Structure formats: C-alpha cells, structure tokens
C-alpha cells in the first residue's frame, strides 16, 4: 500500500508537536513504527549490498555442490586421493553426496604402492566418494607408466575396485605393446601384483610385470 504524507497546512489545523504522531491517510504512525520501518529498510539495503558484492552466502546450484571425498580432496579442477587423481573439466555430486560424476578427465593417475603406475583419460567417470571405486566410460585410454614394454589399452568401459586395487576392462578392448596391437575380450590389471590378465586371445594369457 502506498501512503502519502499530508504536508500542507489547512486553515484552522493544529500544528503537531515534536512528540506527536504523524498522520498518514487516516492512520497514525508513531516513533516506534517509524523506527521499525527504517530498520527493515536498512537491513534490506545491507543484505542486498553483500549479495551484489559477492560477500554474502550464495547457495550452490542443485547438482553443483562441492565433492567431499573420504580420504581425498578437491582443488580447482583436480580431484586427488591416495589411490588415484584426475584433472577434469566438470564435476557434479549426487543429491545424497555418495556419488560424483566427473567429465573430461585427463592426466588421470592411478597409484600403486603410493607411486604413479598408470595414466588414464576418459570422457566420463562415475566415482563413489566413500569407497573410492570408479567406473570410466566413453573413450577410455590407459597407459602403463615407466614400462619397458610400453603397454597401453583402449576401451569404452573400465572399472576400478579400490579395496582390491584392480582395474577391469570387461568389454572388448585393444591391448598395445611395442608395435603390436591385439583385440581382447577382457583385460584385468592387478595393481597389487603388477600382473595384466588377458582373456579372449586363443585362451587366457597372463602378462607378468
């Protein structure tokens, strides 16, 4: 409701004293009401100023809450744990906070006994923030680091089980070593032993580390 202050003095009207209330369209507003209105206006101005200046608490948009890891940390566009670390372009957290979606992964490192053992890149990774298991999908490329045989792998699906330190590629994949390339049905990399197990090439083959 818009109020108008009556500012003109009519003939015969009595001039109000300082302590009297102001009359606004038939209603009287005293010092208490004026003080409350001023306080509200000041509060709105201060809150608006903080938000505009970027100093006030701004809630995260849905699905963009920061990822909190059990035994890991997120800084900028890098997520790191004791078992693996990823550079990425975008990350989102599920509403219950137990799963994260990481997109555009590059320079991913999987550790073995605290040292970089394999490098990974993937279009998309689903990670469990509690168990630190992850699943890489899309175009996935894995390179075994510091390997005299220069082994690498290409697949569209790779699953890491953190508790047993094993990376499995259950879909048909390509295994590269030196100048040779083999197509296999399944590949398992055991990071505890360093062994690579291949299935679907005239039987099973175990490639020692």
Q: What is the pLDDT of residues 5-59, one digit of tens each?
A: 334 455 554 454 444 444 545 555 566 667 676 667 656 655 555 444 444 444 4
Please tell me the distance from the alpha carbon of residue 175 to that of residue 24, in angstroms, as a whole number. Answer: 85
Predicted local confidence at residue 54, as pLDDT: 47
Predicted local confidence at residue 124, as pLDDT: 96
* Rounded alpha-carbon distances, angstroms, from residue 168 to 22, 137, 148, 185: 80, 12, 22, 11
**Mean pLDDT of the residues in the chain:** 76
CATH superfamily membership of 72-207: Lipopolysaccharide (LPS) transport protein A like domain (2.60.450.10)
Q: Does 85 or 79 have the greater pLDDT score? A: 85
Please tell me the distance from the alpha carbon of residue 142 to that of residue 125, in angstroms, as a whole number. Answer: 13
Instruction: Parse the chain into domains and list their residue ranges.
Output: 1-58, 72-207
- Cβ distance 133 to 160 under 8 Å? yes
At 171, is the secondary structure helix, strand, or coil? coil
pTM greater than 0.75 (yes/no): no
């Amino acid at each position: 409701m818009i109020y108008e202050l009556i500012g003109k003095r009519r003939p015969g009207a009595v001039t109000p004293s300082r302590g009297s209330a102001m009359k606004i369209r038939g209603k009287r507003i005293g010092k208490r009401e004026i003080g409350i209105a001023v306080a509200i206006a000041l509060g709105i101005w201060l809150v608006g100023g903080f938000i505009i200046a970027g100093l006030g608490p701004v809630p995260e948009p849905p699905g963009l809450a920061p990822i909190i890891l059990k035994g890991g940390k997120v800084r900028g566009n890098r997520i790191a744990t004791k078992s693996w670390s990823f550079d990425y372009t975008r990350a989102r957290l599920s509403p219950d906070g137990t799963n994260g979606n990481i997109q555009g992964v590059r320079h991913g490192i999987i550790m073995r006994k605290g040292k970089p053992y394999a490098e990974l890149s993937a279009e998309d990774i689903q990670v469990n923030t509690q168990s630190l298991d992850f699943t890489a999908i899309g175009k996935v490329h894995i390179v075994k680091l510091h390997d005299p045989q220069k082994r690498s792998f290409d697949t569209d699906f790779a699953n890491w089980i953190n508790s047993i330190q094993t990376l499995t590629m259950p879909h048909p994949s390509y295994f590269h070593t030196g100048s040779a390339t083999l197509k296999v049905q399944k590949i398992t990399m055991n990071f505890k032993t360093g062994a690579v197990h291949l299935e679907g090439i005239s039987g099973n083959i175990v490639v020692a580390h």
